[in-house]
Structure 1
Amino acid sequence: MKIAVARETRDGESRVAMVPELVGRLTALGYEVAVEPDAGRHALLADDEYAAAGAVVDETALDGADVVVAVQPLATDSIRRLQAGAATISFLPTGQEPEVVGALRDAGITSFAMELVPRISRAQSMDALSSQALVSGYRCAVVAAGMLRRFFPLNMTAAGTVPPAEVVVLGAGVAGLQAIATARRLGAVVKAYDVRAAAAEEIRSMGAQAIDLELDTLDGAGGYAREMTEERAALQMERLTPYVAAADALITTAAVPGRRAPLLVTRSMVEQMKPGSVVVDLAAESGGNVEGAEPGEVVRIGNAQVWGGQNVPSQMPGPASKLYAQNIVNIVQLMTLEGAFAPDFEDEIVAGSCVTHGGRIHHEPTRLALEGED
């Protein structure tokens, strides 16, 4: 059985789906590993490292592959190169990639989407959304510290005392908690808010102050927050306004895969921030938590610089690739039986993450969106 590692072709994508140090895990399962040339170049991983680890580096790596692993969905011309019955494992946002889903279906490819891996205990080691959110959370705190023209930590010197910066984090999922932890390590005073019931304790465990707006919690499925009414959203914004206004840096991380990011901070709220303040919106790509944020851009709103995140994990391709590759190894191991790739569709993880199989769309919400009712 042959596993091919695809070279990413989408603009701005610097990650790679497999790193040399984990190639041996796949060969130990009985696979031949083939890597497209320069697949790891942007993550500072040379072809020679893959070859030394036991992989074959070949421009025709995808030809005859039983499984292809990638970060982003394969391009349609790459899909057409695959043999019928082959499998792909990658991120695959089905709502944004209908042409790719159709091409996979029509080519008879079995495809698995890493963002559809169920959020259950048994699947934690395969949860690429969480591993990449860890990278994003660290990165956005470092971005905020770099953009802010003052110290994060308290400094007491013979020349006087410089008070610490105040950082407010909205959203306390994996990314938010990592942003909190990083800002705290840098010495900032951190306050944070999340609509979920368990979040306050998690925030405090990171050494931050949990903001209590005295509103009902909004726990949803899979550890995500459920949508709020317009009335509650308006009240939440009103009560958050003084915290936003007092912050030197505001970091927002609230997002739910497949849905538009909730608007948490209006332009008028940002306009109340002090001169030199910084806003980092990690959810800018999916609609943004901050009104006016633009993905991949820094815009000025009032006195604040607003940084919009765009493919943030790819801005740290080394650690992001290593974590993602470990997720890939774990899901491949789950689907391997006696040296062969043999996914068990009775398994909750396999069934939940499968998008196409046997010439049809297996993921029901995607099938209904693209094909409608039978």
Structure 2
Amino acid sequence: LSINPLSDEEYKKLKKDAVVISQFQPFLYPEVTDKLRGMGLRGISLDMIPRTTLAQAMDVLSSMASIAGYKAVLEAARLLPRYFPMMITAAGSVRPAKVLVLGAGVAGLQAIATAKRLGSMVEASDTRLAAKEEVLSLGAKFVEVEGAREDKGAGGYAVEQSKEFLERQRVEVQNRAMKADVIITTAQVRGRKAPMLVPKETVEQMRAGSVIVDLASSTGGNCELTKDNETVVHNGVTIIGNSNLAGLMPQDASLLYANNVLNFLKILVKDGQLTLDTSNEIIRGAYFTAEPEAQ
């Protein structure tokens, strides 16, 4: 059991038919499936656990995304050279910061809630119309772009969109970005490169001192200028590409991750025996090295 995949040397120390539980991301790294099969190991990827009601207590992605969304706003507030809330002082009034959140999944909703608590004005956009009600319930304004494709079976991820929609979205984002002090991007397409929502030309039209926090940096980023695990400054705009923001809150991240894993082990272990029961949809979804007939 590990948070991240083991090294090849560590795999070689395991006995045949050992069960390896980690976050393998087999959609992004399909070669890992054949590698483990070739070594005679059975792989379970925690990031493949279905995002269903029954599996919520085991969903490590949602737990870490919630922390990342929260931390993204705090990092933006730390680097932004102005207040988040409106301030009225004897020296004059300061308007609240404007925050634009792209993607209203778990991370996006937590970012919206945190930015609102800090007193900023928040707008949010998502291709899933079902997210509109959640965004509005948090007190943010929903930016709707017509013509989005939806897939209820995508497990909370975005789905690939048409070129026409992407162009409309680019124009809308650019119009909002020019007025935003902070942009938090969270959109990811499962198993594919993250959609590019903030091109270089948009960044160059933002005000100097603005901050972009890209939570999709590990899969290519939603901003064209994002570099994974780096903070870059372009034309006065700070772009944070930290793919491990949850790691900046190790105490709570570890607690939630451990609880997720414990809840998963409860269905994996029966009467003291490890059982890969593929009739269980949660195990079936995570057991990515199983031969097709076993699934």
TM-score scaled by structure 2?
A: 0.93
Indicate if the aligned counterparts of 1:105 and 1:361 stay in contact, CA closer than 8 A. no
Question: CA–CA distance in 1 between the matches of 2:25 and 2:99?
Answer: 32
Indicate if the aligned counterparts of 2:148 and 2:161 stay in contact, CA closer than 8 A. no
> Alignment partner of 2:148: what SS?
coil
Question: CA–CA distance in 2 between the matches of 1:345 and 1:163?
Answer: 56
Question: CA–CA distance in 2 between the matches of 1:338 and 1:89?
Answer: 20
Q: Which residue of 1 aligns with 2:78?
A: 146
Larger Rg: 1
What letter is aligned with 2:105? G
C-alpha displacement at 1:350, in angstroms? 0.9
Q: Which residue of 2 aligns with 1:21?
A: none
Q: Which residue of 1 aligns with 2:150?
A: 219
Q: Which residue of 1 aligns with 2:246?
A: 313
Q: Which residue of 2 aligns with 1:74?
A: 6
Question: CA–CA distance in 1 between the matches of 2:142 and 2:160?
Answer: 21
The correspondence of residues 175-324 of structure 1 with structure 2, limited to 5 A, is 175-213=107-145, 215-220=146-151, 221=153, 222-324=155-257
Q: Which residue of 2 aligns with 1:29?
A: none
Question: CA–CA distance in 2 between the matches of 1:153 and 1:212?
Answer: 25
> Alignment partner of 2:276: what SS?
coil
Indicate if the aligned counterparts of 1:356 and 1:363 stay in contact, CA closer than 8 A. no
- Rate the CA distance shift 1:305–1:348 in 2: closer, same or farther, 3 A: same
Question: CA–CA distance in 2 between the matches of 1:256 and 1:322?
Answer: 27
Question: Among 66, 91, 95, which residue is 1:163 paired with?
Answer: 95
**Cα RMSD (Å):** 1.9
C-alpha displacement at 1:329, in angstroms? 0.5
Indicate if the aligned counterparts of 2:148 and 2:165 stay in contact, CA closer than 8 A. no
> Alignment partner of 2:124: what SS?
strand
Identical aligned pairs, as a percentage? 41
- Rate the CA distance shift 1:334–1:120 in 2: closer, same or farther, 3 A: same
Question: CA–CA distance in 1 between the matches of 2:293 and 2:114?
Answer: 40
Asked if 1:111 is matched to 2:53, the reply is no
- Rate the CA distance shift 1:98–1:210 in 2: closer, same or farther, 3 A: closer
C-alpha displacement at 1:195, in angstroms? 0.9
Unaligned segments of structure 2, at least 5 residues: none
Question: CA–CA distance in 1 between the matches of 2:258 and 2:130?
Answer: 30
C-alpha displacement at 1:361, in angstroms? 7.7
Question: CA–CA distance in 2 between the matches of 1:362 and 1:276?
Answer: 55
Question: Among 20, 23, 28, which residue is 1:91 paired with?
Answer: 23
Q: Which residue of 2 aligns with 1:63?
A: none
What letter is aligned with 2:113? A
Q: Which residue of 2 aligns with 1:23?
A: none
- Rate the CA distance shift 1:115–1:363 in 2: closer, same or farther, 3 A: farther
Length, aligned pairs only: 293
Question: Among 101, 104, 107, which residue is 2:33 paired with?
Answer: 101
Deviations 1:99-133 (A, max 9, x none): 64344213322210011111221111111111111
Deviations 1:286-335 (A, max 9, x none): 11111111112222222311111222222322221211111110111011
Deviations 1:23-52 (A, max 9, x none): xxxxxxxxxxxxxxxxxxxxxxxxxxxxxx
